[in-house]
Each structure stands twice: as C-alpha cells, then as structure tokens.
Amino acid sequence: MNMEYKFRIDFDENNVLESVTYTLVSKFNLKPNVLRADIGGDGAGYMLLGIEGDKDTVEEAMIHILDMGFSVKELNGHIIHDCRKCWHCGACVSLCPTKALYVDSEMRIQINGGTCIACGGCIDGCAVKAIQLEL
C-alpha cells in the first residue's frame, strides 16, 4: 500500500542534492516532493522530502541514498505546543516549511497537526521552549 513518508536529508559540498530526487524517481520509481530545501554559503544544507510509495521500496531507496553519502533521518515524531508557556509572539510561524503554524482569528498561534511534518524547524525559534518534538 502506498503511503507518504517524510525525511530530512542533509548534505555537504561533496554530494549533490539534485541527485537524490533524480535517483528516487529513475531508480526506484518513487514520487518525491521537496517540502523545503536550504543551502548555506559553504555548499552544505538540507532538504525536507515527502516520498510517496510502498514501505519496502522507500526503505530500500533511503538505504541507497545513505550509501550515496547523504545523512538521512525519517520524520515520524510529533510536535507538542504548550499553550501555557506560549506567549503568541509569532516567531515560530515563519520557520515552518509547511505552514502548519498559523495565527488564528484571536491572534493566537495554533499548529495544524495534519500538515506538521515534525521537522523540528520551529523549536529553536521559540525563546520560551513552548514547542517540543516527541519521537
């Protein structure tokens, strides 16, 4: 059965990011969806990837990506937003690649669990540690 799996893939200046999606499509017939990619000045960076396919094929493909020299981490945790600590400053909202964090009509920060991919990108942006990642 096909499902969507989510991964964070880190790379350095020695491996080429484009080769990941090309390999997933051409070698494994998977459907990668780049949710976010960021490359620093030193040529290193990361990519958040949703991949649709069956579990065995996705596993085999990610082992292959590891063998290519990339760092691979599956994103399968969930985020906890502590409303008692949150003072709704909004600093975390722009850090979210999937727009799972949003401001509601009462100017309060909310998380849409359906679109959060548990990438952890918002955690460091919160000065009062109101967001935690549970794995």
- The binding track of 41-60 with respect to ligand SF4, each residue x by CB under 6 A or -, is --------------------
Is the torsion defined by CA of 39, 112, 123, 105 positive or negative? positive
Residues 84-123, interacting with ligand SF4 (CB under 6 A):
86-92, 95-96, 98, 100-101, 109, 111, 116-122
Residues 60-89, interacting with ligand SF4 (CB under 6 A):
79, 86-89
For 13-32, give the DSSP string.
TTS-THHHHHHHHHTT--EE
Is the torsion defined by CA of 80, 93, 97, 8 positive or negative? negative
Question: Are 19 and 64 in contact, with CB atoms under 8 Å apart?
Answer: no
Nearest distance from residue 14's CB to ligand SF4, in Å?
27
CB nearer ligand SF4, residue 53 or residue 121: 121
* Interface residue list for ligand SF4 (CB under 6 A): 79, 86-92, 95-96, 98, 100-101, 109, 111, 116-122, 125-126, 128, 130-131
